Amino acid sequence: MSRCLSERAIDHVVLERGEVAHSWRTERWDSLRLLTPNWQSRLPGFFYRGDDPDGYRTLPEVIDFITDYAKSIAAPVRTHTNVTSVRGNEDGYLVRTDQGGWRCRILVLASGACNIARVPAFASRMPAAITQVTAQQYRNPAALADGGVLVVGASASGTQIAHEVHRSGRPVFMSVGEHIRAPRLYRGRDLEWWMDAAGVLDERYDQVEDISRARRVPSLQLAGTPDRSTLDLNALTAIGVKLVGRLAGITDDGKAQFAGSLRNMCAMSDLKMNRLLDLIDEWARTNGLGDNVAPAERLSPTRVEDAPPLGLDLKAGAIKTIIWATGFRPDYSWLEVPVLDRKGMLIHDGGVAAAPGLYLMGTPFLRRRKSTLIDGAGDDARELSAHLAAYLDGARKRLSA
């Protein structure tokens, strides 16, 4: 957005509570790799020029990438400037920070969708001997106690953490709720390549049937595996991770209770994956790619044992740590503008918030399916900066009239 505003000669600052790429520096686990390939991180005027376009950036590489971009566009970033409150005033917004205040006509919220780890309320009933860690706090297996680990959540974070924790010699139980399985490579190409080429990632928010549902759909169970292997529940089962149902509660005597819905969770995930692959096959056929790529295939269904355990005694000593990979929510506690719905989510139309001159970036399906990808920021910023510039012109005309 800063780059698009500079192109339009719109005077602006970027407030950053820490260093550029703060959340990547402070809220990610050590081994994390970006789940999109190098070539796919395209930003306005900036793209990958290295010799490994199909690789996945390591965490330090992601930090460098974002930092280099900020430098290359000379973004007017004020680092170590923490926003403490935002209020509307007569001609815009009053932004208070720990480094003084700002008045602005226009405010773009780019603070992200993943500020606070969601943890179910019954986590407070966890036996005291169990250490609780969120995916945001988790760093590496060595930082965990020896002994068993219950990973709750089977999307991209949960599966990757379960994989490395189990391989560290700590037996892992994985509690599986809704998730969407996805092969890393399909017909010899990265799944992201297919979704990009077939236009899936460009699908717009005003073209989908039910946008509020589309914004709630879990993200794909993808991992930036160096060997480009698929990290799905079958891969976890193969190394000895034990799958259990969604964590439904913890009893007063410290027993975890798992839902009996594991089979349907896996069936739904397989069906959703296969629908995506059907769409890709159809696109490949109509675009004449059939002979240039490997033949269509389907992964074997997710394996679920006949009678997965419905409970686990958390006081018996086998489980030492529970890792919550149960998703995130944004933090708008500093936003004193009445634009939140009853669930605390910001009301907006494709990033144009329900308050004049207020914009949003980087949340699920903001304007396109790719809106939460680095690769999605460019298109969203181009369109929102156009809307923003028109609003600013209108405001200037109103003032001079």
Partner 1 sequence: MANTSTNATSTVDNGVNVAALISAREALAQAPQAAQFKWRAACEWKNGTHSHSTVEGYYGLGQEQRHRRTFTFDADHPEVFASEDNGATPVEYVLVGLASCLTAGIAAVAQHRNIQLRSVTATIEGDMDIQGILGVDSDVRNGFGGIKVTYKIDADAKREDIEALVAQSQKRSAVYDIVTNPTNVTVVVN
CB nearer to partner 1: pick between 86 and 150:
150
Options 112-120, 142-150, 256-264, 329-337: segment touching partner 1 (CB under 8 A): 256-264
Contact between 245 and partner 1 by CB under 8 A: the answer reads yes
Options 81-89, 184-192, 246-254, 289-297: segment touching partner 1 (CB under 8 A): 246-254
Contact between 340 and partner 1 by CB under 8 A: the answer reads no
Contact between 307 and partner 1 by CB under 8 A: the answer reads yes
Minimum CB separation of residue 275 from partner 1 in Å reads 7
Give phi and psi for 243, each to the nearest 5. -85, 135
Q: Which of 120, 147, 171, 249 binds partner 1 (CB under 8 A)?
A: 249
Contact between 347 and partner 1 by CB under 8 A: the answer reads no
Minimum CB separation of residue 338 from partner 1 in Å reads 16
Minimum CB separation of residue 178 from partner 1 in Å reads 8
CB nearer to partner 1: pick between 13 and 279:
279
Binding mask 263-302 for partner 1 (x = CB under 8 A): -x--xx--x--xx--x------------------------
Contact between 259 and partner 1 by CB under 8 A: the answer reads yes
Options 29-37, 110-118, 153-161, 247-255: segment touching partner 1 (CB under 8 A): 247-255
Minimum CB separation of residue 347 from partner 1 in Å reads 13
Applying CB under 8 A, the residues found at the interface with partner 1 are: 245, 248-249, 251, 257, 259-261, 264, 267-268, 271, 274-275, 278, 306-307, 342
